[in-house]
Chains A and B, each alone.
Chain A
Amino acid sequence: GDALLPAPQSISILSTNMKHFLTWSPVIIQGATVRYSVEFQGEYEREYANGSWIPISECSLTTATVCNITEDISATVAYKLRVRAELGATRSRWATMKGFFNRVTTSLTPPVLRVLADGYHLLVQLADMGPALQFRVLYWKKGQESRMQQKVVREVSSLVHLDTMEAGAEYCVKAQTHVEAINRSSSFSPTQCVRAQGDASMWL
């Protein structure tokens, strides 16, 4: 039966930039390969589907002690997660993570960006951080912070045009990650400044 096999312990979730992973500590049985199965339950299942649980097939009978639950945590509600150990026909009891997980609590890191001046043009290149994220880019002419402008950027890895710069002027850029689905943003990246070609007198 089930009672012989201990249930997994230390169940927790690592969630960064809208990618969510369930982890647990391994069940050690000398000379045996223990496998694990994971199930999730959203608020809908608790309130409208008799508290039913839904298996995550990619994490059924897995030997890993981590499961990518991102695809299934795809609504902004409270989820419960559980995992059990299996060894042949023997199964542990389900170990349910304490409390709930809501993706609104994911930790958001500032974007990695590269700022370029190409002639008189201010450009930014943002690293890809996953499909759920977009970026709020702020840019301004140095010394004119009050006239800061904003652009929401979805393209990643490409050189995105922000604005045209005055000759010889220095422009600064910073950006934050933004997730529309949970309406939250990261802290800002460090500010980067670049200078437009030419010298300021060209504009007189």
Chain B
Amino acid sequence: KIFHLGACRVSMSMAEIRAGFTAIKANIQSRDPIRTLSILSHPHSLHKVKVERCCITHHLFTFYVDKVFKHCKTEDSFVNRKISSIANSFLSVRRKLGQCHEQNNCVCGEESTEKFKQILANYEGLNVTTAAMKSLGELDILLDWMDKS
């Protein structure tokens, strides 16, 4: 599917990523006991914040590649394989977003920068494994938000 993120156009196998996440969603979310805190949605849902789509998408794909997937190793081989599939897909998309960024097609305004700072603060407010597993469990929040474009 081609995503139009402002001036940036990125093709992404959203169906494959969603299939990978759906296969492990229950397993991953069951490892996150904290109902009252969200990494992506606190204090405001991604859907309800006026942000530049390319900027936030680029930031979040970098966030997941750099900070999240590596801390989500489990004892379950099937889950680990699906996480690898998602991580490699994210890496592939993050590269395309990086090209948009280099061509100045992925500008970040104040609100986007603020929202991403908040996400990092939410992440750093928890210990790294808890934060990483919670972030992975919230992947559908990011995918739902992207699908709305």
Chain A positions 144-168 with a Cβ under 8 Å from a chain B Cβ: none
* A interface footprint on B83-112 (CB within 8 Å = 1, 0 otherwise): 011011111100000000000000000000
Of the candidate stretches A4-12, A45-53, A105-113, A185-193, the one touching chain B is A45-53
Q: B91 — which chain A residues lie within 8 A by C-beta?
A: 42-44, 47-48, 75, 77
Q: Would A72 and B85 count as touching, CB distance under 8 A?
A: yes
Chain A positions 29-63 with a Cβ under 8 Å from a chain B Cβ: 40, 42-45, 47-49, 54-57
Nearest Cβ in chain A — how far from B102, in angstroms?
19
Q: Would A74 and B85 count as touching, CB distance under 8 A?
A: yes
A127 in the interface (beta carbon within 8 A): no
Q: B85 — which chain A residues lie within 8 A by C-beta?
A: 71-72, 74-75
How many A-B pairs fall under 8 Å by CB?
65
Q: B1 — which chain A residues lie within 8 A by C-beta?
A: 180
Given contacts A44-B65, A74-B16, A183-B11, contact A54 B88 (CB under 8 A): no
Question: Which 3 residue pairs are nearest across A and B when measured between Cβ atoms?
Answer: A75-B88, A42-B88, A75-B89
Contact residues of B: prevailing secondary structure:
helix
Q: What separation, in Å, do the CA atoms of A55 and B78 have in the docked complex? A: 9
Q: List 22 A-B contacts (CB under 8 A).
A: A40-B84, A42-B87, A42-B88, A43-B91, A43-B92, A44-B84, A44-B90, A48-B66, A48-B69, A48-B87, A48-B91, A49-B69, A49-B70, A56-B81, A74-B85, A74-B89, A75-B85, A75-B91, A76-B13, A180-B1, A181-B13, A181-B16
Contact residues of A: prevailing secondary structure:
loop
Nearest Cβ in chain B — how far from A24, in angstroms?
20
Q: B77 — which chain A residues lie within 8 A by C-beta?
A: 54-55, 57
Nearest Cβ in chain B — how far from A109, in angstroms?
21
Q: Would A57 and B78 count as touching, CB distance under 8 A?
A: yes
B113 in the interface (beta carbon within 8 A): no
Given contacts A44-B65, A183-B11, contact A54 B87 (CB under 8 A): no
Q: What separation, in Å, do the CA atoms of A49 and B80 have in the docked complex? A: 12
Cβ 8 A contact of B84, one of A42, A47, A57: A42
* B interface footprint on A63-74 (CB within 8 Å = 1, 0 otherwise): 000000001101
Nearest Cβ in chain A — how far from B8, in angstroms?
17
Q: B90 — which chain A residues lie within 8 A by C-beta?
A: 44
